[in-house]
Chains A and B, each alone.
Chain A
Amino acid sequence: MATIDTQNLTKPVAQPKTGNFALSGRESQFAMTWRRFKQHQLALVSLWIVVAFYIVALLAEFFAPFDPGDYNPRYTYAPPQGIEFVFVEEDGSWTWGPYVNGYKTEIDPQAMRRVFTIDEEVRHPLGLFVESEPYMLFGIIPMTHKLFGTIEPRAPLYVIGADRLGRDQLSRLIHGTRISLSIGLVGVVLSLIFGVIIGGFSGYYGGWFDSAVQRTIEFIRSLPTIPLWLGLAAALPQDWSALQNYFAITVILSLLGWTELARVVRGRFLALRTEDFVTAAQLDGASDYRVIVRHMVPSFMSHIIAATTLAIPGMILAETALSFLGLGLQAPIVSWGTLLQEAQNIRTLASAPWLLAPGVVVVVAILAMNFLGDGLRDAADPYGK
């Protein structure tokens, strides 16, 4: 695109073709970031995985076939059933449609222990949107249907097995996902608030406040985290309810988690403060508030989003670790950590390895979030690659 030099329009001049300039020039920085992000295959797949996790967490009651507390002593440590789709009748004809097999119980004469085997004879057909006990979605919307379940009521359904009280592991995992992911999210939001405010002041105004904040951050970051969490978690009053406990743990995690975000924010502020366009805005006469909100924040928004995404897995892992050690969330609250606590005993593990399923889920979720965060960070850096 050639400029129009109003002073020199003396001779006609062939203008270069504009090409797709008009389109590309109108693309905003966010659109460009998104376009770069989409080129990052792994991050894109991870984005969908993370979205799926949060949808499951949000609608846990609907996705889980049972309430996490529903126990059935008849099915203690029942093994995974697995969902079958085709059944071959005796006459050779096929019946289509998902079903699970029933269980046969035998007593192991040597160990004097109940042993479950899959009973191929008994079939419980499955259906989508089956009727269930009434429940409240989000605690307010009355619902009477679940995503899936056995068509006949009260048939055993343990897709990935049962725990020591005969509770459905899948339902517990889905409800645990809600708690664990929400701890990550709430914790990161709290960290973000602390981090952006403290880091922002630190970076924009500098001086003694900046020094003080930086020394504090260095001090906090030099503390060994696990013992500190243990100490703080152990200091929580015993008589607190599970809900209070939940919030206390979130706050503890974010009290330590803000440091990383504060550093990112401060770093961006320091870098941007000397940028000419920020000086230009100041010289326009813009107030500090306008300079920050209109001119600085958009420039590091994408960095913040990336840093935030990368901070969530840390929170989740911390919660999982604390709960696993018995110091975080307490039963009856179900989280990935409390679920894994069930898998602490080596003998239980030997007979019921499906109790490790939450571990697999943790790994998948954490990896997906990390890849997503990496992808966002790369996309946010216009000078990368």
Chain B
Amino acid sequence: MTALLEIENLTKTFTMRSGMFGDTISLDALVDINLEVEKGETLAIVGESGCGKTTLGRCIVRALDPTSGRVSYRPEPGKTIELSSLPKRELKPWRQDIRMIFQDPMSSLNPYLRVFDLVAEPLRIHKIARGAELEQRVISTLEKVGIPRDALQRFPHAFSGGQRQRIGIARALILDPKLVIADEAVSALDVSIQAQILNLLEDLKADFGLTYIFISHDLGVVNYIADRVVVMYLGHVVESAPTEALFERPRHPYTEVLLEALPIADPTRRKGQRAELQGEIPFLGNRPQGCPFHTRCKYAQDRCRSEKPALRPVNGTAQQAACHFAETLELTGAYDAPQRAIA
């Protein structure tokens, strides 16, 4: 296997206390997550708010400490670093290899630092370059992301959202990372800027041989950029498949619902009334028994209410789904969804 990153049985539980003497509630943000990220691929993690996709990203980079389970990183064949159990100090060298791009370009840049210092900061922290060399690296990295040299002495507030996101990307790239986690990196941007950044991410990936974990709620963007997609619901991975297979024929009813709900920028493919879409995501604290999706699933059977399905390959393919009926259900994909009557 050439997996660059391997996540095994990862669980993250948040405990909250209601009031000063109240009971503690535990929220399982991630339940028993298993996945692998291959070197050179773009893996998308999709799901709605509260599904745990952001928590997963933050557990990988140890912005959060996982409750249990393992995150292993393989910088080169035969060498495995268990990121999840390293003390913070020993983690530092690996922070060069795994970098993060944040959603909100307004809040992810320190407003008190100039662009030069913002981008130079990681180099200074890791004591990689100094003086003229440092300057050279900062300038060349900024040029790669399309920020002109004369911007070096400006503060982030002087830039538009798209430009700030470019600066954020430069910050991630300056350490020559192997893996970049982009957490909703284009969600806060206007459509035209989003397209610029998507193109940039693609080009950088080709130039630097990067691996991406692309966290997003936007299935249109995911179809465009990802090689493989992981669908999450209530802290579980419900489906994991190569992008085209998943969009062609989803194997989990929740994936079908997501694809169904996605508005497509073409009025001739208008979806019309979607009666089967019902209910809302349950609160994490009272996750249903059995399959987490059964409360909203139109195909739910008795078995779904009592027995929790495991994530397993469907018909022996690379497509995995956590549904008892993954093989038999005839689910609709997104590529040629039939046009529906508009009520």
> Which residues does A use to contact B, with CB under 8 Å?
1, 3-8, 21-22, 24-29, 275-277, 279-286, 290, 294-295, 298-299, 382
Other A-B contacts than A25-B158, A276-B104, A279-B63, 15 sampled, CB-CB below 8 A, are A1-B151, A6-B144, A22-B154, A28-B155, A276-B102, A276-B107, A276-B108, A277-B107, A277-B110, A279-B108, A281-B110, A281-B121, A284-B125, A295-B112, A299-B111
Chain A residues, Cβ within 8 Å of B96: 285
Are B111 and A22 touching (Cβ within 8 A)? no
A284–B91 Cα distance when bound, in Å, is 11
Q: Which residue of A lies closest to B193 (CB)?
A: A3
Chain A residues, Cβ within 8 Å of B221: none
CB < 8 Å: which of A24, A26, A280 contacts B102?
Answer: A280
Are B150 and A277 touching (Cβ within 8 A)? no
Using A26-B153, A276-B102 as known contacts, say yes or no to A282 and B146 having CB atoms under 8 A apart: no
Chain B residues, Cβ within 8 Å of A25: 151, 154-155, 157-159
- Indicate with 1 or 0, residue by residue over B92-134, a CB within 8 angstroms of chain A CB atoms: 1001100110111001111110000000011001100000000
CB < 8 Å: which of B146, B154, B200 contacts A26?
Answer: B154
Q: Which residue of B lies closest to A279 (CB)?
A: B63
Cβ of B148 under 8 Å from chain A: yes
Count how many pairs of residues, one from A and one from B, have CB atoms less than 8 Å apart in the complex.
98
**Nearest CB of chain A from residue B223's CB, rounded to whole Å:** 21
Q: Which residue of A lies closest to B91 (CB)?
A: A285
Cβ of B324 under 8 Å from chain A: no
> Which residues does B use to contact A, with CB under 8 Å?
61, 63, 91-92, 95-96, 99-100, 102-104, 107-112, 121-122, 125-126, 143-144, 146-148, 150-151, 153-155, 157-160, 162-163, 166, 168, 171, 196, 199-200, 203
Are A298 and B112 touching (Cβ within 8 A)? yes
Chain B residues, Cβ within 8 Å of A276: 102-104, 107-108
Counting from the closest, the 6 A-B pairs by CB-CB distance are A25-B158, A25-B154, A276-B108, A298-B112, A285-B95, A285-B92
Chain B residues, Cβ within 8 Å of A8: 196, 199
Q: Which residue of A lies closest to B104 (CB)?
A: A276
Q: Which residue of B lies closest to A29 (CB)?
A: B112
Using A277-B109, A286-B125 as known contacts, say yes or no to A3 and B154 having CB atoms under 8 A apart: no
A295–B154 Cα distance when bound, in Å, is 17
Are B107 and A3 touching (Cβ within 8 A)? no
Q: Which residue of A lies closest to B153 (CB)?
A: A26
Are B125 and A3 touching (Cβ within 8 A)? no
Are A4 and B148 touching (Cβ within 8 A)? yes
Sample of 29 A–B contacts (CB below 8 Å): A3-B196, A5-B199, A6-B146, A7-B200, A25-B158, A25-B159, A26-B153, A26-B154, A27-B155, A28-B112, A276-B107, A277-B107, A277-B111, A279-B63, A279-B102, A279-B108, A281-B121, A282-B63, A283-B100, A284-B95, A284-B126, A285-B95, A285-B96, A285-B126, A286-B125, A295-B112, A298-B110, A299-B110, A299-B111
Q: Which residue of A lies closest to B95 (CB)?
A: A285
Which of A7, A25, A294 counts the most B-chain CB atoms under 10 A from its CB?
A: A25
A294–B108 Cα distance when bound, in Å, is 15
Which of A277, A279, A281, A299 counts the most B-chain CB atoms under 10 A from its CB?
A: A277
**Nearest CB of chain B from residue A351's CB, rounded to whole Å:** 59
**Nearest CB of chain B from residue A16's CB, rounded to whole Å:** 11
Are B63 and A285 touching (Cβ within 8 A)? no
Chain B residues, Cβ within 8 Å of A382: 111
**Nearest CB of chain B from residue A246's CB, rounded to whole Å:** 38
Are B162 and A3 touching (Cβ within 8 A)? yes
**Nearest CB of chain B from residue A273's CB, rounded to whole Å:** 11
Chain A residues, Cβ within 8 Å of B196: 3, 5, 8
Q: Which residue of A lies closest to B150 (CB)?
A: A22
Chain A residues, Cβ within 8 Å of B125: 284-286, 290
Chain B residues, Cβ within 8 Å of A22: 150, 154
Q: Which residue of B lies closest to A27 (CB)?
A: B155
**Nearest CB of chain B from residue A297's CB, rounded to whole Å:** 9
Are B110 and A24 touching (Cβ within 8 A)? no
A298–B112 Cα distance when bound, in Å, is 7
Q: Which residue of B lies closest to A298 (CB)?
A: B112
Chain A residues, Cβ within 8 Å of B61: 283
A290–B157 Cα distance when bound, in Å, is 23
A290–B125 Cα distance when bound, in Å, is 9
Are A21 and B162 touching (Cβ within 8 A)? no
A283–B103 Cα distance when bound, in Å, is 15
Chain B residues, Cβ within 8 Å of A286: 121, 125
**Nearest CB of chain A from residue B141's CB, rounded to whole Å:** 13
Are A283 and B95 touching (Cβ within 8 A)? yes
Chain B residues, Cβ within 8 Å of A27: 155
Chain B residues, Cβ within 8 Å of A1: 151, 159-160, 163
**Nearest CB of chain B from residue A6's CB, rounded to whole Å:** 6
Are B95 and A299 touching (Cβ within 8 A)? no
Using A283-B63, A298-B112 as known contacts, say yes or no to A26 and B155 having CB atoms under 8 A apart: yes
Q: Which residue of A lies closest to B143 (CB)?
A: A6
**Nearest CB of chain B from residue A379's CB, rounded to whole Å:** 15
Using A22-B150, A27-B155, A276-B104 as known contacts, say yes or no to A283 and B99 having CB atoms under 8 A apart: yes
A281–B112 Cα distance when bound, in Å, is 13
Are B112 and A299 touching (Cβ within 8 A)? yes
CB < 8 Å: which of B151, B157, B160, B171 contacts A280?
Answer: B171
Are B150 and A3 touching (Cβ within 8 A)? no
CB < 8 Å: which of B95, B153, B157, B163 contacts A3?
Answer: B163
CB < 8 Å: which of A4, A24, A29, A279 contacts B146?
Answer: A4
Q: Which residue of B lies closest to A28 (CB)?
A: B155
A7–B205 Cα distance when bound, in Å, is 14
Chain B residues, Cβ within 8 Å of A280: 100, 102, 108-110, 168, 171
Using A280-B100, A284-B122, A285-B122 as known contacts, say yes or no to A7 and B158 having CB atoms under 8 A apart: no
Using A276-B102, A283-B99, A284-B95 as known contacts, say yes or no to A21 and B158 having CB atoms under 8 A apart: yes
Q: Which residue of B lies closest to A299 (CB)?
A: B112
Chain B residues, Cβ within 8 Å of A7: 199-200, 203
**Nearest CB of chain A from residue B54's CB, rounded to whole Å:** 11
Chain A residues, Cβ within 8 Å of B108: 276-277, 279-280
A1–B112 Cα distance when bound, in Å, is 21
Which of A4, A279, A283 counts the most B-chain CB atoms under 10 A from its CB?
A: A283
**Nearest CB of chain B from residue A350's CB, rounded to whole Å:** 56
